[in-house]
Structure 1
Amino acid sequence: MTFTDAPGSERLQKVLAAAGVASRRVSEQLIVACRVSVNGEVVTELGSRVDPAVDKVSVDGTPIQLDVSKRYIMLNKPTGIVSTMADESGRPDLSQFVADFEERLFNVGRLDAETSGLLILTNDGEITQVLSHPSFGVEKTYIATVRGEVLPATLAKLRKGVDLDDGPVVADRARLVGEPSKGRSIVEITLHSGRNRIVRRMMDAVGHPVEELVRRQFGPLHLGTLRQGHSRELSKLELGQVLALASRTTLASRTPPTTGPLSPQD
């Protein structure tokens, strides 16, 4: 590894401890055990120094966020809330869920007002850009309660592709949850499209309008038992998974997205 004495550089074990990975003593043990890498290179010497603002540090292959000023919040957005921090029409918005944070947080992507479920709130602009822009195609999973009895042939059609006004769209996965009951079916659908109201439009196209829609998963994050209207900080493991996804997605993209307004997503 290349050692640096540049301004802002610190001992690696101190940086790991400050990031909340472990105590400084345990961090030293991780380094000696060859479990820490900097910029893709394994580090074993305790005298190694890094610049938290520049260097990429991983432990056991999981990226570590070294900037402790960054916040990452998972919110289970209720229905009736628009996905903006300030709504010009005076509708209920996300500002009520960030009022207790000193940092200025923003939502990663959007859910329409009628859709509930998983949203990420953060002040990390780079993560927001990568994970929310439709061109990066981050995978999302929804649970849709729809009208009518959804047949296996309909699920197959969703997986094969549905033609919409703005082009065809394919579900990565689609399956029934339980048995249809009282003229309704529950469908779990996973896709990576970020187009506006895409799940609702897909189900309309196959004759099963959505009555209730919840986003249960966004990339590697799962809503779990988080109650509607509640939020929590991402765990270290979840944050590492998000950082790894953002890193892989950026590398896989040939053309970075242009900055611009994002359309609401289902």
Structure 2
Amino acid sequence: MASASRDGTPGRGKKPARAAKNTKTTGGKSAGGSKAGNKTGRAGGTRHGAPDPARGKKQHRKGSSKPDVASGKVRLNNARPARHQTPAESSGAGATYVADGLRLQKVLAAAGVASRRGAEELIAAGRVEVDGEIVTEQGMRINPDTAIIRVDGARVVIDEDKQYLALNKPKGMQSTMADEQGRPCVGDIIAERVMAGQRLFHVGRLDADTEGLLLLTNDGELAHRLMHPSYEVPKTYLATVRGEVDRSVGRQLRDGVELEDGPVTVDSFTVVGVHQGQSMVRITLHEGRNRIVRRLFEEVGYPVQELVRTHLGAVTLGEQRPGSIRVLNNREIGELYKAVGL
């Protein structure tokens, strides 16, 4: 998709200061006159010393006229949770220049995607999209409160008020913010955050006997879509089951198993190991029904003894200790947005 000039005016702005060097000379001096006149031209941005609004501020560091496209193609995207942006749907009309907005490379740098120079290289390499349009020219000014920015297809989240957390829920804990019976619950772990004014809720549930990855956020739209079955966000579990799992079980699970509330199929199934009459298996599915993994294995004759959720979409549990919380990085948030069409 072709992108318009983003230097502040329609069309492509010229660089007047350089143009001044190309004026006709008389006796080895420019037609503009003395050295003082030339200094005025350089300082003012035009030969006559008048400010040139088309040129704006210097875009690139001294000694380099253009960002390195080759470097931009291989540069790592070091995104972390960004600032200023409220999630909103893109209008699909393409990038819009905002005269009093912030330069795109500055917004990307503030979001932690890369340094200012690195952001310019990403833009030049065609890896940055604003409101559905690939932007390759430097100097575009945007409204970071409304623009939808993506790098490598993953959205850059810029609203510092939004919270995205990964909790390793311990076994025996209820997936609720408060429990009427006084049992340990997720709300106990985030009590200090709630007291500090953060309004958080969990995305989906894990039953009390299941431990592992549980997302916490105040982004209602993202949470709603992650839980909605139509988006089919995959979830991966490690299960310890009773008995030595037969090879035919994997095929059976992939073909589909009929439960009391309807059929269920798995996306992938692997036997990790067998030891002392127990099997550890890895299973991925996009179902979110109550106790679905336990009921599934019960149906095929291998009751679950231990169950841990390790992945939800692009987010992984990693080496998190039970009861610990970490902030999702921008890549993970962007991938979640991408998975549910935001």
Q: Which TM bucket (shorter chain)?
A: 0.7 to 0.9
Point out where structure 1 has 5 or more consecutive residues left out of the alignment.
Answer: 251-266
Pick the structure with greater CA Rg.
Answer: 2
TM superposition shift of 1:61: 2.8
Cα distance change on mapping 1:27 and 1:215 into 2, 3 Å: same
Residue 202 (structure 1) aligned to one of 287, 291, 296: 296
Which letter maps to 1:131? L
Please state if 1:43 is matched with 2:135.
yes
Query: SS of the residue aligned with 1:81?
Result: coil
Number of corresponding residues: 246
Tell me the distance in 2 between the aligned counterparts of 1:159 and 1:210: 18
Q: What does residue 171 of structure 1 align with?
A: 266
Please state if 1:5 is matched with 2:89.
no
TM superposition shift of 1:234: 1.4
Please state if 1:86 is matched with 2:181.
no
Please state if 1:242 is matched with 2:336.
yes
Query: SS of the residue aligned with 2:244?
Result: coil
User: Structure 1-normalised TM-score?
Assistant: 0.84
Query: SS of the residue aligned with 1:117?
Result: strand
The answer to whether the Cα contact below 8 Å between 1:219 and 1:242 also exists between their aligned partners in 2 is yes
Which letter maps to 1:136? Y
Which letter maps to 2:322? Q
Tell me the distance in 1 between the aligned counterparts of 2:99 and 2:207: 47
Tell me the distance in 2 between the aligned counterparts of 1:35 and 1:245: 19
Tell me the distance in 2 between the aligned counterparts of 1:183 and 1:26: 54
Cα distance change on mapping 1:99 and 1:18 into 2, 3 Å: farther
Q: Could you say which structure has the higher strand fraction?
A: 1
What does 1:132-147 align with in structure 2 at a 5 Å threshold? Answer: 132-147=227-242
User: Structure 2-normalised TM-score?
Assistant: 0.67
Q: What does residue 312 of structure 2 align with?
A: 218
Q: CA RMSD in A?
A: 2.0
Please state if 1:72 is matched with 2:168.
no
Query: SS of the residue aligned with 1:127?
Result: helix
Query: SS of the residue aligned with 2:340?
Result: helix
Q: What does residue 193 of structure 1 align with?
A: 287
TM superposition shift of 1:173: 1.3
Q: What does residue 116 of structure 1 align with?
A: 211
Q: What does residue 34 of structure 1 align with?
A: 126
> Residues 158-189 of structure 1: CA distance to partner in whole angstroms, max 9, x if unpaired?
1211111111111111121112x222211211
Query: SS of the residue aligned with 1:177?
Result: strand
Tell me the distance in 1 between the aligned counterparts of 2:228 and 2:323: 25
Tell me the distance in 2 between the aligned counterparts of 1:78 and 1:220: 21
Aligned-residue identity in percent: 53
Q: 1 or 2 for the larger relative contact order (CA 8 Å, sep ≥6)?
A: 1
Point out where structure 2 has 5 or more consecutive residues left out of the alignment.
Answer: 4-94
TM superposition shift of 1:237: 2.2
Residue 147 (structure 2) aligned to one of 55, 66, 69: 55
TM superposition shift of 1:6: 8.0
The answer to whether the Cα contact below 8 Å between 2:241 and 2:280 also exists between their aligned partners in 1 is yes
TM superposition shift of 1:214: 0.5
TM superposition shift of 1:141: 0.9
Cα distance change on mapping 1:60 and 1:154 into 2, 3 Å: closer
Tell me the distance in 2 between the aligned counterparts of 1:91 and 1:79: 12
Tell me the distance in 2 between the aligned counterparts of 1:210 and 1:229: 22
The answer to whether the Cα contact below 8 Å between 1:142 and 1:213 also exists between their aligned partners in 2 is yes
Tell me the distance in 2 between the aligned counterparts of 1:68 and 1:172: 35
